[in-house]
Amino acid sequence: MLELLQNLNHWDWLALAAVLLILEVFGTGGYLLWAGLAAALVAGLKFLIPELAWTLQLPLFGVLAILTAVYWWKRQRTSPALSDQPFLNRRGHELIGRTFLVQQAIVDGRGKIKAGDSVWMAEGPDAEVGTAVRVVAQNGVVLTVEIVT
């Protein structure tokens, strides 16, 4: 084993990088991507500095793997995830502030409104069918409305 370590060359590191990146394709969630990148970096260093001892290669691989992973983790946490559909998977939030007509009279604070092609439960002041109401909040599948004056 010691003889194998003493004879590590850049091809060994490139092979390790390739194996790690291939395994990453099978869905490890990014964990092996950074280790594969670190192995490729060590391969590049070993190619540029052929006399680099294995006692430096292994710790360098570990440090580079950690540094690349931490760098990406920090970058992901600081950059905002902008979307062209900010209310995707938050159904109903896009209705807040919009005006709709009462579909089923709001009596004792409960009724229904028609929003687009859907009918939503609504709570708010009593209102007759056809009254214009504005959505002010959402609580689960129930929209809170106020009468538009």
Q: Using one digit for the tens of pLDDT, what is the confidence trace for 121-146? A: 999 999 999 999 999 999 988 999 99
Predicted local distance difference test score (pLDDT) of residue 86: 67
Looking at the structure, tell me whether residues 54 and 120 fall in a common domain: no
pLDDT value of residue 102 = 96
Which pLDDT score is estimated for 133?
96
Tens digits of per-residue pLDDT, 26-54? 887 778 999 999 999 999 999 999 999 98
pLDDT at residue number 15: 95
User: What local confidence, expressed as pLDDT, does residue 148 receive?
Assistant: 93
Domain count, the chain: 2
Q: What is the pTM of this model?
A: 0.53
Q: Is residue 87 part of a domain?
A: no
- Domain contains 85: no
Out of 30, 45, 78, a domain closes at 78
DSSP string, 31-98: HHHHHHHHHHHHHHHHHH-TT--HHHHHHHHHHHHHHHHHHHHHHHHHS----S-TTTT-TTGGGTT-
Predicted local distance difference test score (pLDDT) of residue 93: 84
Dist. CA 57–CA 31, nearest whole Å = 20
Residue 86: inside a domain: no
What residues make up the domain containing 58? 2-78
**Per-residue pLDDT at 110:** 96
Q: Are residues 63 and 28 in the same domain?
A: yes
Q: Which residues pair with 25 in a beta bridge?
A: none
User: What confidence tens digit (pLDDT) does each residue in 52-108 have?
Assistant: 998 999 999 999 999 998 998 888 788 676 777 766 777 788 899 999 999 999 999
| CATH code: domain of residue 122 | 2.40.50.140
In this structure, are 73 and 113 located in the same domain? Answer: no
